[in-house]
Amino acid sequence: MNQKEIMFAGPDKTLLRYIQEAGIDWMHACGGKGRCTTCKMRVLEGAGHLGPRSAAEVKYFAAGKLRKDERLACQCRAVGDVVAEVPLDSQLPHLKYSQDKE
């Protein structure tokens, strides 16, 4: 999975939903319900284009399970361009990712 671009029509769906509709395999152990952190992504550019953190994201951030630059793909919605990568601990073993290390 090297540098995929996903087109989205607006904030009516979560980023995870857009990722899935684009046919990209993305880890989401709880089924996209915000009950785990497996769908997290590291936001490299465009953090200001994401809505505020959801209650689940706030909870996991406070517990130290999300870094400042990480969001849950199942919880956030974008209103503009975002560049993100999959952190090492959320990568699927059968995919090849573009970053070499975390």
Q: What is the pTM of this model?
A: 0.85
**Contact between residue 35 and residue 54 where contact means Cβ atoms under 8 Å apart:** no
Give me the residue label for tokens 């969001």: 71
pLDDT by residue (tens digit) across 17-36?
998 998 888 889 998 999 99
Domains in the chain, CATH or no CATH each: 15-90 (3.10.20.30)
> Residues with Cβ < 8 Å from 58, sequence gap 6 or more?
none
- Which residues, 6 or more positions from 98, have their beta carbon under 8 angstroms from its beta carbon? 1, 2, 3, 85
What are the strands of the beta sheet with 83-85, ordered from one edge?
70-72, 40-45, 83-85
pLDDT per residue as tens digits for the range 33-91: 999 999 999 999 999 999 999 999 999 999 999 999 999 999 999 999 999 988 888 87
